[in-house]
Structure formats: C-alpha cells, structure tokens
Amino acid sequence: MAPLPNSRTEADGSAVIRVLSYNVRSLRDDTDALVRVVKACTPDLVLVQEAPRFFRWRKKLARVARAADLVILSGGATAAGPALLCGLRATVERTEDVLLPLTPGRHRRGLATAVVRFGGARLGVISCHLSLDRTERHEQGGVLLERLTALGTEHVVAGGDLNERPTGPTFQRLATELQDCRAVAPWGAEHTWVRDAPHRRIDAIFATKGVEVLGCGVPLGEPGITGEDLRAATDHLPVLAALRIPAG
C-alpha cells in the first residue's frame, strides 16, 4: 500500500491536509493505544465521534488531544458527542456546536462545526454521529447538508459515524451532494465496523466537489499502527483521508 501524501502548503496557496474520522467510544477503552493510532496518522484535523459527555469531559478529551500533539477545536458534550481536534497548522476562524432536534426517548445528537485555514486554503469542517433510527438518520443528513451550506465556505469536509452502509438512503443522500472520499480514491482498508459479521463501512469522510481527494480509507498497515492497538483503542476503525484544498 502506497503511503498517503504528507501535509504541506503548496506554492499556489493550496494545502494538502490529512483528515482523520474516529469514533472513540467515550474513551472507555485503552487511551494509550488510541493516542498511538492517532499520532501515527499525523492528522491536521480529527473528526471525533462519541467524545466524553459527562463528568470532567473536557479534561479527558484535552488529555488525549495533548498526548496526540493536538488541541480541542470544538464540540464534545456541547455537541452531544461529536468533536473536532486540530494541529497547530490550523488557523481557526470560528466554531459552532449544533444540537439536532431531539426525538423523545432517543439519544441526543449534534454536530461539531468550524471554519479553519491552512495556508491560503479556507475550509469548513463538520463532525457528525447520526441516529440508529432510519427515519431520524435521514432527517439528520438533511440538517447536516443545510449546516454545510451555512458555513459559508466554498470547500467543506464532513465526516463521522453514519450508522449506515454506502447503499443506505442517508449515505446516498450525502454522496449525491458531496464526494464520498473512499469511493473517489480508495486507499487502505474499507470496513470500519469489524466487531461482528458482516463487516461493514459505516464511517466515512465526505468533501465538496472542489476538493481533490488523494486517498481515503482505514489506515491498516500504516507505519506505527498495529492491529493490537486498533482493537484495543475503541470499537470502530478510523478513516484517514489526504485532501488537497484549493486556495481561496
């Protein structure tokens, strides 16, 4: 497997960045293993799902971010689980945590959003964790697309735990409006949920059409990432993408 391109700023002001999407299961598992996986991916942005939401949640998330040479950008309990982490290359313009409409008796969901710059490239970012209920999930997909437009940036990256395969209606709704990065430039492994059969891809990274996808997939076999750490870190596998963001 060829390595993904490293982060860099191009002479024309565009930027190559590495984006990681990862359901961390409220940091209930081996956080040392989780940190090793995240650091080995050398991400500029991390789209987190199931960040801690209760007692001392910010301190727990900040500890992991710091150990991985990252900082908290937005989200966590204030977004009902999704969060964004970033490296020091990012210049932050603004952030917003969005709570999605609550269906009585179901889990509260939200979106962590931000607008950042890398060199001359300006980018909107959204981390999401959609409902287990098919109807509610589809409605949340629509809200995600609305919020994507509301960010007011030409280029956006969105991703997270969709709780749905690529053939599902919500996944297809997003893939119609955006690039499904894994489908555009397959790299690494495909399945993000492997704890029971059938194994399936329910986590994804999407990008608006002007973003060039250089590769996207589960970073199995990347230097510094072991199967043991992936199994110990959480119950999902991460998705890593290398993207070229145009200047502007």
- pLDDT, tens digit (0-9, with 9 covering 90-100), for 42-52: 999 999 999 99
Provide the β-strand partners of residue 148. Answer: none
Residues 26-55 have a mean pLDDT of 97
Mean pLDDT, range 187-201, rounded to an integer: 93
Whole-number percent of the chain with pLDDT over 70: 100
pTM: 0.97
- Domains of the chain (ranges, CATH numbers): 11-245 (3.60.10.10)
Q: pLDDT tens digits for 87-110?
A: 999 999 999 999 999 888 888 999
Query: Does 1 score more than 90 pLDDT?
Result: no
The pLDDT value recorded for residue 27 is 97
